[in-house]
Amino acid sequence: MGKNQWTNLVRVRTMVARAWVGRQPPKIQAVIGTLVATSVLILLWICVNDPGFIFFAAELSHATGISLLIYKLIKCHTCAGLSLKSQELTALFLGIKIYCSYTTFDIHVLLDMTTLITTLWVIYMIRVILKSSYMEAEDSFSVQYLVVACALMALVVHPSSSSEALINRLILAFGCNLETVAIMPQLRLMQNAKVVESLTAHYVFALGLARFLSCAQWILQVVHSRGTILLALGYGLWPGMVLLSEIVQTSILFDFCYYYIKR
């Protein structure tokens, strides 16, 4: 069988599989999606010995999403389909992460600083340069409720290390909670707009893929270390909350990524 024939066969079977999944009830589709995600996680566990490679893949996917966002704003001269509220929440939690890392400077901090600068530029473009194309009516998510909920959760569950001041531990927990839900205004805007512009869809999918890989890295690190890595985060409810935040954030994006692949 030639290369073209093999490619066509794979394409046809993929289309048949997607059509079959599309005919299933929502609950069955959710089960199928969960099984696929679990299978990918098991495959990564078998094939990847160093979770650092998964971190690299996650950052590459994130960088791809940001590159698409920059291209959209510069080349297409429009911010239609982008949520200003999501970008502002992103800038807030990135600023918190950088503040909480003031005692260390590594690749993670450098990446966060780069992303923060890019996010601030995006906010400026939406608020000033491309304001006429901003879909303000569709960007209707009430972020104040998210912020209050994240703050209250931080008061209940936060790092228990005695080496850090309580205020810093509360700020860290607040930033972690905020990162989990920062994408929600973007998803609401896309839902309100009914039609999702291609570059925006690619951008959100890249973020979803990066989040899945980041969550997979956390889970595999816990498995490889037999849970001892959680001890490095402290004790009490906080280590479990960090892992739960990764899972929840991935779940929020999972539905969009599923329909993105199925379309």
The reported pTM is 0.80
Examine residue 33 and state whether it is found in any structural domain, yes or no.
no
Query: In whole angstroms, what is the distance from residue 203 CA to residue 64 CA?
Result: 8
- The overall average pLDDT reported for the chain is 80
Number of structural domains, the chain? 1
Q: What is the percent of the chain with per-residue pLDDT over 70, rounded to a whole number?
A: 76
Evaluate whether 229 touches 221 at the Cβ level (below 8 Å): yes
Examine residue 74 and state whether it is found in any structural domain, yes or no.
yes
Examine residue 198 and state whether it is found in any structural domain, yes or no.
yes
Examine residue 70 and state whether it is found in any structural domain, yes or no.
yes
Q: What's the pLDDT score for residue 83?
A: 93
Query: In whole angstroms, what is the distance from residue 220 CA to residue 225 CA?
Result: 8
Residues of the chain with pLDDT under 50: 10
Examine residue 183 and state whether it is found in any structural domain, yes or no.
yes
Examine residue 35 and state whether it is found in any structural domain, yes or no.
no
Cα 227–chain centre separation? 24
212 φ, ψ (degrees, to nearest 5): -60, -45
Q: What's the pLDDT score for residue 10?
A: 47
Examine residue 241 and state whether it is found in any structural domain, yes or no.
yes
Evaluate whether 127 touches 151 at the Cβ level (below 8 Å): no
Q: What's the pLDDT score for residue 35?
A: 67
Q: What's the pLDDT score for residue 171?
A: 92
Q: What's the pLDDT score for residue 237?
A: 76
Q: What's the pLDDT score for residue 191?
A: 85
Structure tokens of 92?
Answer: 């807030």
Query: Which regions of 105-231 does DSSP assign to beta strands (E)?
Result: none
Angstrom CA distances, 200 to 49, 86, 205, 245, stand at 34, 13, 9, 24
Structure tokens of 151?
Answer: 């703050």
Cβ density class 58-95: b for 16+ within 10 Å, e for less = bbebbbbbbebbeebbeeeebbbbbbbbbbbbbbbbbb
Structure tokens of 114?
Answer: 């780069």
42 φ, ψ (degrees, to nearest 5): -65, -40
Examine residue 131 and state whether it is found in any structural domain, yes or no.
yes
Question: Which residues span the domain enclosing 58?
Answer: 48-262
Structure tokens of 242?
Answer: 């960090």
